[in-house]
Structure 1
Amino acid sequence: MERYPHIYGSDGRIHACIAELGIVLTHESGFHQMDVRGDMFGLLAAHPLRPLVTLHHLEITEPIFPNRTALSALDHLLQAYNIDPHRIFQQTVCYDRWFSWTISISWGYAIQVHGRHVFLPDAIRKPATYIPWKKGGENQLYNHDTAEHHPDPCRRPVVFYMDSASSGRNGIKSVYKIMTMENCTFDSTSPRKLEEIRVFSHKLEVDIKQLQAPRRHCCDVLRDSSAKVMELAIRECKEEEFIRMP
């Protein structure tokens, strides 16, 4: 503290001390400094394939669930986290062959349903729902792959937020419901007709192999998505199975 009084914040001073020791840091993508403002949805809906470690600045950013306070939203997230902490925010993508939908699951948080098939590299990009930490830094570059967040909500994927999560003898069930109703026109093949998505999975036990070489899980549409409820199952991909657009 005496040598670096000009550095603002404890993290900057800790970095200076580590630099003096000659230690090289390894970036762990489960740490989230969250040096951005606004809606964290884009970052959390396309989380890296690593266990969640930290979330910073939640008192500055918008609540991670709509229609809640920051503290209430965090308590709500803990319902799923306490059931399956290693799977929280882990992104899984599957394709519905009946309606040509692309479904991106951020487990325990939210599901995005595109009304068309989207290539996997595009489905796992982070929607830029947030803004730079420093004011006037609109042209700031991020160290992750961002995607356009369309200004017209009717042209964005339909979002379903986690409503509940429970664990039983046959595995884990999490329920996601649509919480924002935009005034958009749609037909019988649009995902906007859905009101609820149910996801079935088993507890994710992360071992050394998974940490060294993480692999995205696969998911299946369990039945025809013709009603107001869609059911999905998350599972490990088979040895030579690919996640790809039909």
Structure 2
Amino acid sequence: MRGFVWLDKPVPEVRNASSTGLPGIKISANTSGFPYTHGAGSRSALRITRIVSESFRLGLPGARWFVMGDDDTVFFPDNLVDVLSRYDHTQPYYVGNPSESHIQNLIFSYGMAFGGGGFAISRAAAEQLARMQDGCIQRYPALYGSDDRVHACMSELGVPLTRHLGFHQCDLWGDVLGLLGAHPVTPLVTLHHLDFLQPVFPTVKSRTRALRRLFEGPVALDPAAVAQQAVCYDAGKEWTVSVSWGFAVVVVRGVLSPREMETPMRTFLNWYRRADYTAYAFNTRPVARQPCQRPQVYYMRQSRLDRRRNTTVTEYERHRVPPTPCRWRIPDPAALLDRVVVLKKLDPGLWKRAPRRNCCRVVSSPTKGKDRRMTIDVGVCREGEFARV
């Protein structure tokens, strides 16, 4: 993988990029000769649009894909490589995902890869785009951004969007728990707009430090499995358990079906800061249908690899919130459970099989007055195994 930071004018470089491991700096070409008539946008969209063609013209040997992202796009590089390796770069491909916001997609297009979520263009498509992009840009002066100009040119080339649900524009505000706690059964490739979201681990006040915990732990250990969901049940206590590996464990009183648990909780607001569930371009559900089912959330605190058993060990700590009054006889997880330990064997072939959620099994459960810890085993579903309600 090679990368560049593209700017519109030179800046002083304090250190040599090659010695620090940072990407090199490139200056995008002047686009003052192109028309731009959108009243609310910025002409910088023209320069950003042409970076795809300019990257292709660098003549990088062996380059198969050209991947674009904003300056606040977080990439999961191993998963990005894994996803793109499934497609033939000698064929024209345009890979990405629309927004999570229904209104944003109506304004722009459900067929457009949003730039903040990142998108990838195969070498074959980039070569065709480089030949015609300048003329194409001339034809769309009224468009707002760079990503919809790329989409317009792809439409002229007849190359449709290949959707991949792991690219996340994150046109959301608030807590990302609902999105990552029930991630689609597909590799997590990007996150965006993190300045508008709470830190991925709310127990860590800094967004940067929270991301560092994620990347230095689970992402380094087993990137393919990050945020992959597994659903199981503690039958003795009538608890529903949802593991989002490397991120969080959610424990709910009562038995909720896997169909409900795989639907993201509305822990966030939509891009226009309204709590209107019809504004999302995907299904969501309330955080709790009644007070007794308000989930207890355990966020990943540390992770390690047990090399002898080739097993990852991730520990999750309860996020303490004010208690909710409830008269159910089903025990309250907050009263018994402080930590969750998840054991999972490394699985480098996870995405070489047909997509399927992993299964989880409750190995041990806390008892009153004793060890306040639950141990869960996560792994490939055994023959005949499924999430039993």
TM-score (norm 2): 0.59
Superposition CA RMSD, Å? 2.1
Q: Give per-residue Cα distances to partners, 1:168-189, cap 9 Å, x unaligned.
A: 2221100000122323457782
Q: Residues 41-190 of structure 1 correspond to what in structure 2 (within 5 A)?
A: 41-67=177-203, 68-78=205-215, 79-135=217-273, 138=276, 140-150=278-288, 155-169=293-307, 170=309, 171-184=311-324, 189-190=331-332
In our comparison, the structure showing a higher alpha carbon Rg is 2
Please tell me whether the aligned partners of residues 154 and 182 of structure 1 are also in contact (alpha carbons under 8 angstroms).
no
Gaps of 5+ in 2: 1-136
The separation in 1 between residues aligned to 2:313 and 2:165, in whole angstroms, is: 27
Separation in structure 2 between the aligned mates of residue 137 and residue 101 of structure 1, nearest angstrom:
28
Determine helix, strand or coil for the equivalent of 1:118. coil
Q: Distance in 2 between matches of 1:148 and 1:229?
A: 27
Between stretches 193-202 and 129-138, larger displacement belongs to: 129-138
* Cα 1:206/1:222, change in 2 over 3 Å: same
**Greater percentage in helix:** 2
- In the alignment, which of 325, 333, 345 is matched to residue 191 of structure 1? 333
Aligned residues of 1:105 and 1:112 also touching (Cα < 8 A)? yes
**C-alpha separation between the residues in 1 aligned to 2:208 and 2:289?**
28
Change in 2 beyond 3 A, CA 1:234/1:141 = same
> Is contact 1:98-1:225 (8 Å) kept?
no
Which residue in the other structure is 1:222 paired with?
Answer: 363
Q: What does the per-residue CA deviation read over 1:184-240, in whole Å, with 9 as the maximum and x for residues that have no partner?
A: 457782211211000000112136642xx2111111111243131000101211232
- The percentage of aligned residue pairs carrying the same residue is 37
Is the partner of 1:82 in helix, strand or coil? Answer: helix
SS at structure 2 position matched to 1:74 = helix
Distance 2:348 2:273 in 1: 41
Quote the residue 2:377 is aligned against: 233
Is the counterpart of residue 16 in structure 1 residue 156 in structure 2?
Answer: no
How far apart in 2 are the matches of 1:149 and 1:188? 19
Greater RCO, CA 8 A, separation 6+: 1
TM-superposed deviation, 1:41: 1.1
Q: How many residues align?
A: 243
3-state SS of 1:127 partner: coil
Matched, 1:243 2:387: yes
